[in-house]
Copies of this chain bind each other. A is one copy, B any other.
Amino acid sequence: MTQTPVESAATVRRLDPEDAQLALAKVQDLLHRHELVENLAHRQEGDDQRAELVESLIQRQHEAELTALVNDLHPADIAFILGSVPNVERQMIWRLVSAEHDADVLLEVDDWVRESLIEAMDRQDLVAATESMDADELADLAPDLPPDVVAEVQKGLTVEERARLIEAMGYPDDSVGGIMDFEMVRVREDVSLEVVLRYLRRLPELPDHTDQIFVVNRQDKLLGTLSLSSLLVNEPESQVSEVMSTDYLSLNPLDSDADAAGAFERYDLVSAPVVDELGRLIGRVTIAEVVDVIREDSDEQALSRAGMQDEDIFAPVTRALQNRAPWLLLNLCTAATASFVASRFEDTVSTIVVLAFLMSIVAGIGGNSGNQTMTLIIRALAVGRITDKNVWQLFQRELLVTFMVGLVGSAIAAVFAWAISGSIAIALVMMAAMICNMLIGAMIGVLVPIVRTRFGKDPAMGSSVLLTFATDSLGFFIFLGLATLFLL
């Protein structure tokens, strides 16, 4: 019987974006049943031996199911599952992952998962998992590995690979050098495409994400790039030098990885060559690394706004405390300072108690409004839209926008103040204080991120502490100060 096309298609395994989540649900289900059996066995203490037997039988069956399930997954999905279960279960699943996936999974997992996996592995397994890695992958992992494992693996490297490892480890994490790899195909410019095609056919496969081949001279100086597209559509008799492109983006290993990511985004690149000061090709960056950079930067920004670093949602509570307490204590100090400022007006507040209930509105809206300005500015800074030429213009515009929103908002707030206090004077003081405080928020929202960026600091986290501090303390000060002047 001949196979029909439809039947052959039935053997296709289609990855689905939701595969990993389905697998996670199955894993959790198995783990859950596993736990139930354990609990059951512990409860039936009367019939010890039989219960234990049943338990171990069922356990073995669960483990077999889990092993089959997990090892059939893409290494990235295994990594996802390891990051989505508590540590005890994580270690159990990690033991079931077959050794062939070890290297890939270790490279895919988040940093905090990797630590816990490496801790639980013995030296031999670690050496086995890492000795198959490329120099750039090893360099990424090296800081997490025990030094003797790194030493052992280094021994097995060729001289060239060792040189690359040392080079890769020398670049900062957030530089192009930190994300580049060394898997490149190089050709000379004075050969025909036919020769290139024959050369490629001798390779077992092309490096991942090869969309272009690099054209270099004898000194390894980069002369141009030959896209696979040009290679495929041009006649084999053409010379490389005729069809190669000399209009390409090249990176320096010390460029920031965020700048490189911006360039990939803007020019829709899949890979880019990295060259040194002499124009020599030393590596390449691929979109896979760039996507990780973009994602990590965006995650980091979101977390740092809340004053945290990345956290294992199943990490021991003590770790979580270290992560979260500093920021909260810092906020506590600024809140206490603001509260101390306000307490200097105790006489005013004890005379007109309603001020106590209105002052937090003034402080809060100043913070919210400043936060809007700051978010816009931080974003414009990240894209590179803010220059010396337009800073002043932006500053004026933000003050104007804030003043207009402030007029409307403070009018509403004044009505509320009048309703709650019955005093038009209090309403007017409220209005004036609120507009002032919003303008202060706008000023800080524009200036602080710009100044911090100019001094090479991260604009997000520090700026928002300063903003809250200022709008709280000054909000109280202006409101209660005006009240003291005009209402007493």
Q: Contacts A270-B211, A321-B401, A357-B342: A307 and B14 contacting too (C-beta < 8 A)?
A: no
- Contact code string A212-254 (vs B, CB < 8 Å = 1, else 0): 0000010001111000111111110000000000111111000
A343 interface residue per 8 A CB criterion: yes
A308 touches B266 (CB 8 A): no
A365 interface residue per 8 A CB criterion: yes
A120 interface residue per 8 A CB criterion: no
- Which of A223, A324, A358 has most chain B Cβ within 10 Å? A324
- Contact code string A77-92 (vs B, CB < 8 Å = 1, else 0): 1001001111000000
B28 touches A302 (CB 8 A): no
Contact of A5 among B223, B228, B295, B389 (CB under 8 A): B223
A332 touches B365 (CB 8 A): yes
Measured in the bound complex, the distance between the Cα atoms of B25 and A1 in whole Å is 71
- Contact code string A88-132 (vs B, CB < 8 Å = 1, else 0): 000000000000000000000000000000000000000000000
A159 interface residue per 8 A CB criterion: no
A-B pairs, 6 with minimum CB distance: A356-B356, A298-B298, A15-B249, A206-B229, A306-B375, A268-B288
B247 touches A13 (CB 8 A): yes
CB nearest neighbor in B for A80:
B266
A259 interface residue per 8 A CB criterion: yes
Given A311-B376, A331-B365, A331-B368, 14 more A-B residue pairs with CB atoms under 8 Å apart are A12-B248, A15-B248, A15-B267, A17-B251, A17-B263, A20-B266, A201-B234, A295-B298, A306-B372, A308-B372, A324-B401, A328-B369, A339-B416, A349-B356
- Which of A287, A357, A359, A408 has most chain B Cβ within 10 Å? A357
CB nearest neighbor in B for A389:
B28
A462 interface residue per 8 A CB criterion: no
Q: Contacts A298-B298, A375-B303: A201 and B317 contacting too (C-beta < 8 A)?
A: no
B25 touches A217 (CB 8 A): no
A401 touches B317 (CB 8 A): yes
A336 interface residue per 8 A CB criterion: yes
Q: Which residues of B contact A349 (CB under 8 A)?
A: 353, 356-357
Q: Contacts A267-B74, A325-B405: A361 and B332 contacting too (C-beta < 8 A)?
A: yes
Q: Shortest beta-carbon distance, A335 to chain B, in Å?
A: 4
A335 touches B356 (CB 8 A): no
Binds B, one of A42-50, A161-169, A390-398: A390-398
Measured in the bound complex, the distance between the Cα atoms of B344 and A420 in whole Å is 10
Contact of A294 among B210, B295, B325 (CB under 8 A): B295
B17 touches A408 (CB 8 A): no
Q: Which residues of B contact A375 (CB under 8 A)?
A: 302-303, 305-306, 308
Measured in the bound complex, the distance between the Cα atoms of B294 and A323 in whole Å is 27
A148 interface residue per 8 A CB criterion: no
B393 touches A86 (CB 8 A): yes
12 contacts between A and B (CB under 8 A): A11-B246, A32-B389, A80-B385, A313-B385, A317-B401, A328-B372, A335-B365, A336-B413, A336-B416, A340-B420, A346-B354, A360-B472
A479 interface residue per 8 A CB criterion: no
Number of this chain's copies in the complex:
2
Q: Shortest beta-carbon distance, A465 to chain B, in Å?
A: 10
Q: Shortest beta-carbon distance, A57 to chain B, in Å?
A: 24
Measured in the bound complex, the distance between the Cα atoms of B364 and A394 in whole Å is 30
- Contact code string A362-391 (vs B, CB < 8 Å = 1, else 0): 011100110110111011100111010110
Q: Which residues of B contact A477 (CB under 8 A)?
A: none
Q: Contacts A228-B228, A384-B20: A353 and B354 contacting too (C-beta < 8 A)?
A: no
A456 interface residue per 8 A CB criterion: no
Measured in the bound complex, the distance between the Cα atoms of B346 and A364 in whole Å is 20
Q: Shortest beta-carbon distance, A420 to chain B, in Å?
A: 6
Measured in the bound complex, the distance between the Cα atoms of B6 and A222 in whole Å is 10
A277 interface residue per 8 A CB criterion: no
Q: Which residues of B contact A234 (CB under 8 A)?
A: 201
A246 touches B12 (CB 8 A): yes
A12 touches B223 (CB 8 A): yes
- Contact code string A286-308 (vs B, CB < 8 Å = 1, else 0): 01101110110011011101111
CB nearest neighbor in B for A394:
B313
Contact of A266 among B77, B211, B306, B374 (CB under 8 A): B77
Measured in the bound complex, the distance between the Cα atoms of B83 and A335 in whole Å is 39
Q: Which residues of B contact A251 (CB under 8 A)?
A: 17
Q: Which residues of B contact A197 (CB under 8 A)?
A: 232
A327 interface residue per 8 A CB criterion: yes
B28 touches A224 (CB 8 A): no
Measured in the bound complex, the distance between the Cα atoms of B305 and A15 in whole Å is 33
